[in-house]
Amino acid sequence: MNPVLKLLVEGGHLTTTQMAQVAGIPEAAVSAHLEELKREGVFLGWRPVLDLSRESAGAVRAVIEVRMTPERGGGFNRLAERLSKFDEVESCYLMSGAYDLLIFVNGPSLQKVAAFVSEKLSTLEGVISTSTHFMLRSYKEGSFLIGVPSGEADRLKVSP
């Protein structure tokens, strides 16, 4: 595996300088690897992992299960791509099982998210039904545990 990709997968939130140190390659090589990954469409971009419940009251996230009618020639692609273009949509996945698309949505308030579902999403031709679940609390976000104290303080400071 590309050494830089490996570090990205491990999620060590390193700067390019640190990546260079860790992987033992020059910083220019790290940048070159990153560029290559971008060109190949593997590396899509940086996003911080945030626990927004601490920052702003009122941010609302929901998971929506969507059942829809596939189209001849394109299956679910056209509709899924169209849905994905909405800014409200964080992520969108085609799923096996009881529904077809799983959509992660966020918005500033319950009303805004509800309005997106009732006005934009359910009214699209091809959408058979939606089932919206609002998220109440986050316990883990992008591999980071939330609200779980680290055990570091428990180690003895010197041991044989």
Partner 1 sequence: MKRFIARHVSTLPKSGIRDFFEIVSKMKDVISLGIGEPDFDTPWHIREAAIYALEKGKTHYTSNLGLIELRRAISTYVEQHYAVSYRPDDEVIVTVGVSEGIDLALRALLNPGDKVLYHQPCYVSYNPSVTLAHGVSIPVPTRAADGFALNVEDIEKAWEPGCKVLMINLPCNPTGGTCDPARLEKIARFAVEKDLIVLSDEIYSELVYDNAHTSIAVFPGMKERTIFLHGFSKAFAMTGFRIGYACGPAELIDAMMKIHQYSMLCAPILAQEAALEALRHGEDSVKAMREQYHRRRDLVVGRLNAAGLACRAPGGSFYVFPSVAATGLSERDFAYGLLDSQKVAVVPGTAFGANGSGFVRASFATGYDQLVEACDRIERFVNTATPCSAPSSS
State the Cα–Cα distance between residues 57 and 104, nearest whole angstrom.
Answer: 19
x/- map, 7-46, partner 1, by CB under 8 A: -----x-----x--xx-x----------------------
Q: How far is the CB of 72 from partner 1 (least distance, A)?
A: 44
End-to-end CA gap in the chain: 37
Beta strands per DSSP E along 4-159: 60-68, 89-94, 101-107, 127-134, 140-141, 144-145
Q: How far is the CB of 40 from partner 1 (least distance, A)?
A: 24
Nearer to partner 1, 78 or 140 (CB): 140
Using the rule CB under 8 A, give the single segment among 29-37, 88-96, 100-108, 150-158 that binds partner 1: 150-158
Candidate residues 39, 72, 137, 157; the one interacting with partner 1 per rule CB under 8 A: 157
**Residue 116: both structure tokens together:** 């997106």
Residue 159 touching partner 1 (CB under 8 A): yes
Residue 56 touching partner 1 (CB under 8 A): no
Judged by CB under 8 A, how many residues of this single chain contact partner 1? 13
State the Cα–Cα distance between residues 126 and 128, nearest whole angstrom.
Answer: 6
Report DSSP state, residue 94. Answer: E
Nearer to partner 1, 96 or 159 (CB): 159
C-beta of residue 51 within 8 angstroms of C-beta of residue 146: yes
Residue 85 touching partner 1 (CB under 8 A): no
C-beta of residue 78 within 8 angstroms of C-beta of residue 92: no
